[in-house]
Structure 1
């Protein structure tokens, strides 16, 4: 393992006691890699608000860095203010700040339309208390009108006061480096941390990728499809592919990575050990 590389890991808040017990085990396994922080996602329209908060506080109580996701779509300023105050009261110092998905059937967009408005609001409310992470899209946001508009929107989030960014996952390393270059040409100096998605099964990955705009290169898609129901072989191959991506990033000087765990530890542990 490259000792200079630091990791962070993203979880979703479990719905059941069994899920919480599983996540505790997963955290214990991933804690072996001394992560900078564990982050916890926030459901569309705040649908997991309490579970997100409970999970974050439990992670913090175990002595780990904890970063709740906070999304603003369909939220009022009062609701966001109450969340910020609750996290400040517990000594949480990092937030992953997102626009969030529009819940199905939802009419009201709330008091915020874009993530940069949420970043500005958090800075106005809490000053420099929080380290704010925002999202970046190396292959561009699926709703972006153009590549340039997406880059401009990303810069607005940084200019509003974000400290760093975490990217959507990608399997094309060149897309990440080109995004980095384009952002730097716009004057962005904040770190842009690559988001890494292990490959657990092809159907799930294809569904995620269709929604978020992450490209699965044709060569990779064809190889994954060929494994069919042989999940063990697919995951072994996928772990090698993702390890190679991480190795290329490290060779180019990347010193932080953020893993989308899907509340699982095994493949991620394998990837980090292979590095």
Structure 2
């Protein structure tokens, strides 16, 4: 069924339509567990589910698999995101053909984000540079078979600061054949209401579906509002600042905030029939929002849940919270939410001016100086690090500087923590009245000339485990079990199992490795191809190894650095 029909039914029945958004997990285990999770979330009977699309079709197969399984196994109506940036016509044709063959009838047509290397990037297909081009093409090829949605930006698109012009672009997409609008995330309901009224005045009368994201963690929230340029009312920021040290309170606040926003939208008399919940592949917050709104249907017994043939549905009360406290890049790769950082990174970014941030490095020493400035807080970002370092890094700042001066360019690190209160302002996380622990780990790029000497030193320490790989895919480790999982962050809290939000394992390391080398390439492409800077970055990407080192004795603060340095 077309989503416009679903929304019209909800309007006629004077009820709230709600839907869930998922993203394609980065690992096979994460995908299997997402299907498990979707089986439980099917109990809430959403009007539809949506699945995002990776840049340039990078998740094409997995996005289609999520949508087709959701539709065929769980009976969800599905909305498949589709971007046209960096997508050739052949890829778009294949995606649309596969979607129709799978019975998918709803497409969210997006431009997608151009790569950060704006100056030296050109689209794969000059016919698809705007979302309106994609809408027009779908209509030309498939008539009215697909129900087509497009994105709307209540606070304006980052690439179009003029809000009036942005509304004109939105109307153009609708005039090309879009059936409904789904908004970007927002936290200012007054701005949303004003924007909807402006849409109607502009002559845009298709249904508008607001996207609501319950706050996952304080760090994730800060990251996404910075990436997307989202305006957050001062009272919300102040409330979060008061509780940012307690992850559970932040989540609870996020749920209550989402409920309040939805209720304000319902009272606004704008004719909004549905809301879209961005789940980040987590379930508990979405469940609580529906319960607090009194729209969640009565839950059937666990044994009555739908399930895919290869999965066994377990007791939701036992597992719905097992990945609710992500803590950095290395979450559990089995989690459906693994890859959240990458997913959030696909949100709109401002046009990047690399030279203004990082200059024109021409030697490895120039690169070392950039990393050192970042550690000292003189740079806010690096290609691999989109935010300043966290406060806990101050305790190992001098060691990190020493590592970089030795040629080990650090992109991730964590100091030792041995039983610190979860309320601690520097190291604390998770619910209150608990204790947290950390093993020291370090992730860095190291040249092929230095690699062997470093590995020989590491092998001498029985507490060290490491993974190393290069751009070509060569791989070295001293971990014998390919499926071994090493918890490097864990917490002990009242009334809970031990929570392990940060796990180092081969599958997660290799997943991140692909992204890390992709960022070298993106940085390189922000400069003229024949420039000395581009040549340097290209050479580094080809020669340097990414290595992750864990020191498993969490009672010795400096052992990791002693093991690595000559």
- TM-score normalized by the length of structure 2: 0.47
State the 1:105 CA deviation.
Answer: 5.0
Take 2:197 and 2:71, find their aligned partners in 1: how far apart are those partners? 35
Indicate the residue corresponding to 1:96 in structure 2.
Answer: 108
Indicate the residue corresponding to 1:44 in structure 2.
Answer: 55
Match of 1:264 among 282, 285, 291: 282
Matched residues, number: 274
Q: Which has the larger radius of gyration?
A: 2
In structure 2, stretches of 5+ residues that fail to align are: 1-12, 294-566
Take 2:244 and 2:89, find their aligned partners in 1: how far apart are those partners? 47
State the 1:170 CA deviation.
Answer: 1.3
Match of 1:130 among 146, 149, 153: 146
Helix, strand or coil at the partner of 1:7: strand
Match of 1:20 among 22, 27, 31: 31
The answer to whether the 8 Å contact 2:193/2:268 transfers is: no
State the 1:87 CA deviation.
Answer: 1.1
Residues 229-248 of structure 1 deviation map (CA, whole Å, 9 limit, x = unaligned): 31011111221111111111
1:108 aligns with 2:122: yes
Residues 107-144 of structure 1 deviation map (CA, whole Å, 9 limit, x = unaligned): 33122111011100110011001001110011111111
1:183 aligns with 2:206: no
Indicate the residue corresponding to 1:167 in structure 2.
Answer: 183
Q: What is the RMSD of the two structures over their aligned residues, measured on CA atoms?
A: 1.6
Helix, strand or coil at the partner of 1:92: coil
Match of 1:87 among 93, 96, 99: 99
State the 1:38 CA deviation.
Answer: 0.8
Residues 33-87 of structure 1 deviation map (CA, whole Å, 9 limit, x = unaligned): 2112111101111111111111111111212111211000011222211211111
Match of 1:66 among 78, 85, 90: 78
Helix, strand or coil at the partner of 1:70: strand
- Runs of 4+ in structure 1 off by over 3 angstroms are 103-106
In structure 1, stretches of 5+ residues that fail to align are: none
State the 1:166 CA deviation.
Answer: 0.6
Take 2:106 and 2:173, find their aligned partners in 1: how far apart are those partners? 16
State the 1:164 CA deviation.
Answer: 0.2
Indicate the residue corresponding to 2:345 in structure 1.
Answer: none
Take 1:130 and 1:224, find their aligned partners in 2: how far apart are those partners? 41
Q: How does 1:233-272 map to 2 (within 5 A)?
A: 233-253=249-269, 254-272=272-290
The answer to whether the 8 Å contact 1:7/1:33 transfers is: no
- TM-score normalized by the length of structure 1: 0.95
Indicate the residue corresponding to 2:489 in structure 1.
Answer: none
State the 1:104 CA deviation.
Answer: 4.4
Match of 1:196 among 186, 192, 212: 212
Greater per-residue helix proportion:
1
